[in-house]
A and B are shown apart, each in its own frame.
Chain A
Amino acid sequence: MAELNQDSGKGDKGGKVRSKKNGGKVDLTAMVDLAFLLITFFMLTTSLNKPQAMDVAMPDKNKIDQNDNLEIADTRSITLLLGSDNKISWYYGQLAKPIYAPATVEYGKEGIRQVLLKMQKEVPARSQGKDLIVVIRPSEKSVQRNLVDILDEMKIVDVKRYMISKINDDEIEVLKSEGLYND
């Protein structure tokens, strides 16, 4: 480079040298900008890529004595029947003589959360200060999203006691009568 400059620099030395200087320096600002943009992108995607783990604990299967069950007062438990079409049917107490009869409700902030918040206040008043128990019964027509949503709702509302259990035939009839048992 230097030699080339000297050779051709005989005619008009100053001009040539100056033009070389301008050409030798590439403006890297745009390239650096781009590189940092890409770095940011890859950094964010790699750290956000890791999926969440929602922990679930099921009760131990009592294989020795199937009838070893604990009686719970009717006034403490509400039951959520997860039906099809992203809807829930819920009732308070026992299905045979419910305190609140089965009613259909949607998922989310306006739907099931309002019910849970209301019952969280109402249950201690009715059962000598004991807290709410939620029984979740997914039907065959519900999907995984429903189960995750309702477990998530338990965390958001901070329900201390909840369980996932098996739906029975009477409850399936309830879902059918409310039109929540479609494929």
Chain B
Amino acid sequence: MGKAKVKRASTSIDMTAMCDVSFLLLTFFVLTATARQPEVLVVDTPASTTPDKLPDDNLGIISVANGKIFFGVKNPNVREITLRNMSQKYNVAFSAEDYEKFKQLDEFGVPIKNLRQLLSLENDARKENIQPGIPVDSTETASNELYSWVQEARKATIEFNRSREGEKDFVDPGPMKVAIKADAEEKYPVVNLIIETLRNQKQNKFSFVTGLRAAEE
């Protein structure tokens, strides 16, 4: 009798604690995974075998799909400074509320004179079809708005990093990196315009954003 009882007790393990832990982890992963905002401009990037990952911060991304160009800066504080500089350069005024909204905006694709209008919309209303893309051409003048955006974002990054120099444990991440996230089927002339725009401001190094392809031997 005694032996039989011991056997019975050992067959069923109490799973409650394990279940608790696993669901805690599950909740954590679900929450971190869905925190990423759905992108406005859907870009199907080509695949490459490059092992390097795209940095999370200190980065400006130029997205291209369907002939439209979108631009976004990763760091919200840099975004704010960029917009302030752009507002001066193009003589477009923004309210304090606009700045707050712009800090939340991951990427956009409108000429700067229409940016206020875009910011006044709700988050879900900022669809791709109402955004015509940022104007770009082969010049270095104000008509090439992408040129100004990238340049001001680079300046803003430097300004922001300088303002943080006094902070404890601050490591200067260096100048802003620029990545081009182009659709696999995007024709070369549009990509070339962007590359030339970057080269004109001596941003000779940049990255192409690609998906992962398993290395073939």
Interface string of A106-150 (1 = CB under 8 A from B): 000100000000000000000000000000001111111111110
Tell me if A53 and B52 are in contact (CB < 8 A): yes
Minimum CB–CB distance from A29 to chain B (whole Å) comes to: 6
Contact B204 A52 (CB under 8 A): no
Q: Do B184 and A35 touch across chains, with their CB atoms under 8 A apart?
A: no
CA distance A142 to B33 in the complex (A): 35
A3 at the interface (CB under 8 A from B): no
**In the complex, how many residues of chain A place their beta carbon closer than 8 angstroms to a beta carbon of chain B?**
47
Q: Are A51 and B54 in contact (CB under 8 A)?
A: yes
Q: Would you call A57 an interface residue if the criterion is a C-beta within 8 Å of the partner chain's C-beta atoms?
A: yes
Chain B residue numbers with a CB within 8 Å of A101 are: none
Q: Are B29 and A148 neighbours in the complex by a CB distance under 8 Å?
A: no
A51/B191 contact (C-beta < 8 A), A42-B26, A144-B184 known:
no
List the A side residues contacting B213 at CB < 8 Å. Answer: 152
Contact flags B168-210 to A (C-beta < 8 A → 1, else 0): 0000000000010111111111011001001110101111111
The reply to whether A57 and B51 contact each other, CB–CB distance below 8 Å, is: no
Asked if A159 is an interface residue, CB under 8 A from chain B, the answer is no
Nearest 7 pairs between A and B by C-beta? A28-B15, A42-B29, A35-B22, A53-B207, A145-B184, A145-B46, A144-B182
Residues of chain B touching chain A, judged by Cβ–Cβ distance below 8 Å, are 12, 15-16, 18-19, 22-23, 25-26, 29-30, 32-33, 36, 45-55, 64, 179, 181-189, 191-192, 195, 198-200, 202, 204-213, 216
* Chain A residues in the interface with B (C-beta under 8 A): 25, 27-29, 31-32, 35-36, 38-39, 42-43, 45-46, 48-61, 82, 109, 138-149, 151-152, 155-156, 164
